Structure 1
């Protein structure tokens, strides 16, 4: 037998150390999402993973320069692991030369063969200038050649759960079999923000000058919306115009992906439309802190008579704006708790619902240990438990 405890939840907690994912289906609560003129698109809450809007989010498409997000991610990983340093000097090969015919008509950092360039400058050349030449220089330095670097890219993609994306080169120019999905790109963006915040900060820089050539970040939302701090644009004839963007307003971070729009203006406007929709109609709500006590049930045969219960990880959910007061919380606990109880033991569960929709569920764990009492105390509790059960029948 289990008992059910219901209570209303209206709690604003401190910032969380880790988040648990909960997705809200908002039909009949918020307006329908905007019509987006793109082949595929996605809008998520970066902290909770909740999907707010999606269309063909798992459809493989050519990535164009959005590939450079993975190139930059691999580079950041190598630097933060200590296998490379931002101060390392890279000798530019002829393959990485800006005049390589492969790069004709594409975005460049304008590096020259035989010259040394720091990894720090190459990173900015990739992220800000979207330089195809810079990506090849980095690939050759970190992996020896582009093919080996592509293996590293795909290894990171698999580790992040980007199961529908395949990388063939470091820059994103058309290559057979090279595809990404909107969902995978959102996953990659969230990982960059979470794992390498110092490197992610480069995505907000509006210009970069190298070799006396000043180039401007092609993400024009950086100049038009102060809440936008990244991420990357892309274009080829095969892929159309794409943009992965991220913004933060009042502590809520959203990531949008639009793929296959018809122009640079269109990708900007469609992205703005998605972000504004998300911020206007949704909010991120802090639920529980790891130290928050949800219940203190009676414990039998222990050195103490109660045990404090809570959640293992702090939690947040994304809700339709203004609906947090409507959350209903259900604690599912056993009728009897018997010592010994170890710290972290799972002793029940907590479920939050909004109307008929389950928005959060997690184990309830012991926030403290309870040691077993002595022999005679356990015998006495056994008698009391027998009497209690007798009268409860």
Structure 2
């Protein structure tokens, strides 16, 4: 009896552990759209070849278009350069503004004649790390990237080793870095999802990163080379109130542009308590059929954010207090079933043009449930899906306990004994012994009354 109670207690503990596990939500890829006054919708034209959007509050993936495809990241590379730099000052961020460094010709020689973006920092000009990071992230200064790399490490290749170690640590599966500035190299690549992982880490870990990347402009203080200081401007015009691309919900983060990469952008945006991150890569550089530049990366971001803020609604698909169904319980003291409810609720952003009635709910219940049942025991699963794609899976748990019937238990024990292997072996043994005894008895009986021929011969000789 003690063993049985112990096993039941352990089973209850295991069930409770299962129940507190969050529901298994799946990524679902939406197609952004616009609607007219009549409520009709049509997909947004997206120019970027790869797109990844995530709700940073919930982790829900909203849009995924080639998000894991390794691509040329251009100056998005500088986000990793900033992270490796900030890792060195994690314990003392004030040192970013107190420690001054410079770059010798090694930091500049490879950049001459490339048209690389710059903040006009000169060889041997002393600049603090904070100002280098501003130059790196706002005007996308390539010399700032090399100066950081050569002062954090003894060479750019060794600095790239630090970048790749960081990428591996963060689980960036489709990334490799071979320089600090993002100029084209076959061995310098990343993906939209990886850049989202990296950027979220930077924002969560280093408050100064979010502070810097949200600046529309910044004044580099005076130096010997620049006595009046230097005004630097963020390449992300979505932060510029005077720009046609301005979009007030956007808070940063970084642009990237190369012939081989197209126009790229990582940004974050917040409105009405909603927070998103959007990464796009591979937007065209020019208007179709012309050599007129067009910032299709900025156009994509504004259009997708507007769709998310105005057409995605936080929807409660499963209420944790709702009663879903009953499951039959054998050998119950009272009644013959127990009610089930979700172990956890489930809600997520959902487009307002998809009706909830189109969400399919599949319930799978355990078979042969036998009392006792304890409140919180997992006895089934509820799965939500839309057009064959799984949205979430939630455990169904008992809302109350069910005791075992004593009389039913005795009957069950008796029935189980007569159907048990042991009983069959016992009956088989008895039958075997009975047959063996009967055979032996018959054999002895026949032997007693049958006269052997040898006995007859002995009698004749005697006469």
Q: Decide: shared fold, TM above 0.5.
A: yes
Q: 1:63 aligns with which of 73, 79, 95?
A: 73
Task: Please name the residue that 1:22 is paired with.
Answer: 27
Are 1:142 and 2:147 counterparts?
no
Are 1:253 and 2:264 counterparts?
no
Task: For CA contacts below 8 A with separation 6 or more, give which structure has more relative contact order.
Answer: 1
State the distance in 2 between where 1:95 and 1:169 align.
Answer: 17
Q: How does 1:295-310 map to 2 (within 5 A)?
A: none
Q: 1 or 2, which has the higher helix percentage?
A: 2
SS at match of 1:242: strand
Do 2:261 and 2:281's aligned partners in 1 also have CA atoms closer than 8 Å? no
Q: 1:34 aligns with which of 41, 44, 48?
A: 44
**Corresponding pairs, count:** 354
Moved more, 359-368 or 107-116: 359-368
SS at match of 1:67: helix
Rate the CA distance shift 1:46–1:176 in 2: closer, same or farther, 3 A.
Answer: same
Q: 2:93 aligns with which of 67, 76, 85?
A: 85
Task: Please name the residue that 1:233 is paired with.
Answer: 255
RMSD: 4.3
Task: Please name the residue that 2:351 is paired with.
Answer: 320
State the distance in 2 between where 1:308 and 1:147 align.
Answer: 59
Task: Please name the residue that 1:46 is paired with.
Answer: 55
State the distance in 2 between where 1:210 and 1:366 align.
Answer: 64
- CA shift, 1:139, in A, is 2.3
Structure 1 unaligned segments of length 5 or more: list them. 1-16, 388-393
Give me the TM-score of the superposition, normalised by structure 2.
0.62
Rate the CA distance shift 1:252–1:330 in 2: closer, same or farther, 3 A.
Answer: farther
Rate the CA distance shift 1:310–1:203 in 2: closer, same or farther, 3 A.
Answer: farther
Give me the TM-score of the superposition, normalised by structure 1.
0.71
State the distance in 2 between where 1:187 and 1:256 align.
Answer: 10
Structure 2 unaligned segments of length 5 or more: list them. 1-21, 222-228, 241-245, 286-292, 333-337, 414-463
- CA shift, 1:135, in A, is 1.8
Task: Please name the residue that 2:444 is paired with.
Answer: none
Q: 1:351 aligns with which of 377, 383, 389?
A: 383
State the distance in 1 between where 2:206 and 2:142 align.
Answer: 22
Bigger-Rg structure (1/2): 2
SS at match of 1:234: strand
SS at match of 1:133: helix
Rate the CA distance shift 1:26–1:243 in 2: closer, same or farther, 3 A.
Answer: closer
- CA shift, 1:63, in A, is 1.9
- CA shift, 1:91, in A, is 2.0
State the distance in 2 between where 1:282 and 1:233 align.
Answer: 26
Rate the CA distance shift 1:26–1:92 in 2: closer, same or farther, 3 A.
Answer: closer
Q: 1:275 aligns with which of 290, 305, 326?
A: 305
SS at match of 1:107: coil
